[in-house]
Amino acid sequence: MKIGFIGLGIMGRPMALHLKEAGHELFVPERASLTEEIRAAATVLPNPSAVAGAAEVIILMVPDTPDVEAVLFGAKGVAEGLQPGKLVIDMSSISPTATRDFARRINERGCDYLDAPVSGGEVGARQATLTIMVGGPQAAFDRALPLFERMGKNITLVGESNGAGQTCKVANQIVVALTIEAVGEALVFASKAGADPAKVRQALMGGLATSRILELHGERMIKRTFDPGFRIVLHQKDLNLALQSAKELGVALPNTASAQQLFSACVAAGGGGLDHSAMVQALETLASHKVGV
C-alpha cells in the first residue's frame, strides 16, 4: 500500500520503518527533525495535505488531541488532501469524545476512520510487539489489519464505533499508572524497612503480585534508569483524559486522581521528561528515602 505516516517520534519512527520493511511505500511530511534514516526510506512531501493526496492510508502518531486536530483539519492538513475511499488511522492517544467528532468529519469526506492507540512503549514499537486497541467499522479494520500486524502482536477491534479504541487506551493507562504506583510504594516500603529491594522484587515476581510493571519498571526503580520509554508528561496527559471522561460519565476514579497528583509532583520537580516509572521519585520524597540507595 501507499502509506502516509505523520508523527515520527520515539514511537512513530520505528512503526513507520516496520511498514517500509514490509514493502509498503512510505510518504511523510517535511520536518526539520526528520532523521536521515526516514529521509532515505520515505518520499518527503511538503505538508500533511500532500501526504494525504499521495497515500491510500494515512496514519497519525502525534502527542495529544490538539495535535491530531491540527494535523487533520489545520491549514494544509490531511483533510484538504483526502479523496473518497481513503483510510485515516489515528494511533495517537487522545480524547474519546474528540475522536468521535474527528471521525464524523472525516467520514463526511467519504473516507473511513479508525482510532487505534497503542501500548507497549518504545520497546514495543521497536520490536513490533505493540498492543493495538481499535475502534471503527469492521471493514476498515480488516483493511488495516495487515498494517497493524507489522507493528504489533495483540490487535483487538474493541468496538465498531469510533472512540472505542481510545476508551480502551484510557483504561489501559489507568491500570498501568496505578500498578506503577503500587510497585513504587512496595519498593519504597521494603527498602526503608531495611530489605534489599532487588531481592524483594525477585520474590514478588514468583507470586500473585507479579506483573510486567514489576518486572520492567520495578527494575528501573531499583537501578535508577529513568531514560524515557514513555514520558511522565504523556502519561499525565492520558490520566487527564481519564479524569475528564470520568467527569463526563459521572464516575469517580479516586486512585487515578492520586496517581495523577504524583505525576504532577514529578513534573513540578522537573521530571516530566523522565520515564513514567520515575513516579517512584514522588513517593521517595514523601518517604525521605530512595529505593536502592
- The model's pLDDT over 48-93, given as tens digits with 9 standing for 90+, comes to 999 999 999 999 999 999 999 999 999 999 999 999 999 999 999 9
* Rounded CA separation 53/81 (Å): 5
Closest CA to 135 of 155, 121, 154: 155
pLDDT of amino acid 195: 97
Let me know how long the chain is: 293
Residue with cell 511498514: 19
pLDDT over 90 (residue 240): yes
**Which stretches of 151-252 are assigned E, i.e. beta strand?**
152-159
pLDDT of amino acid 134: 98
Non-local (6+) Cβ contacts of 194 within 8 A are none
* Rounded CA separation 125/59 (Å): 15
pLDDT of amino acid 268: 98
pLDDT of amino acid 229: 82
**pLDDT class for 293, splitting at 50, 70, 90?**
low
Is pLDDT larger for residue 3 or for residue 120?
Answer: 3
What the block records as the C-alpha cell of 49 is 495535505
pLDDT over 80 (residue 242): yes
**pLDDT class for 265, splitting at 50, 70, 90?**
very high
pLDDT of amino acid 122: 87
Classify residue 109 by burial, with Cβ atoms within 10 Å: 0-12, 13-18, 19+: middle
Question: What is the average per-residue pLDDT within 283-290?
Answer: 97
* Rounded CA separation 38/185 (Å): 41
Greatest distance between any 2 Cα atoms in the chain: 65
* Rounded CA separation 81/59 (Å): 14
| Residues 10 and 122 sit within 8 Å (Cβ to Cβ) | yes
Options 2, 20, 169, 192, the catalytic residue: 169
Q: With pLDDT > 90 as the criterion, what percentage of the chain qualifies?
A: 97
| Residues 114 and 144 sit within 8 Å (Cβ to Cβ) | yes
CB-facing half-sphere around the CA of 255: CA atoms within 13 A: 11
Name the pairing type of β-strands 118-119 and 43-45.
unpaired
Count of CB atoms situated within 10 Å of the CB of 104: 11
Non-local (6+) Cβ contacts of 201 within 8 A are 187, 214, 218, 219, 222
pLDDT over 80 (residue 3): yes
DSSP code at position 5: E
As a whole number, the mean pLDDT across the chain is 96
Question: What is the average per-residue pLDDT within 188-197?
Answer: 97
* Rounded CA separation 165/10 (Å): 21
pLDDT over 80 (residue 158): yes
Question: Does residue 169 carry a catalytic annotation?
Answer: yes
Q: With pLDDT > 70 as the criterion, what percentage of the chain qualifies?
A: 100
Question: What is the average per-residue pLDDT within 25-39?
Answer: 96
Closest CA to 74 of 165, 12, 15, 6: 6
pLDDT of amino acid 123: 87
Classify residue 179 by burial, with Cβ atoms within 10 Å: 0-12, 13-18, 19+: middle
Closest CA to 291 of 228, 206, 218, 232: 218
73: Cα separation from own chain's centroid: 21
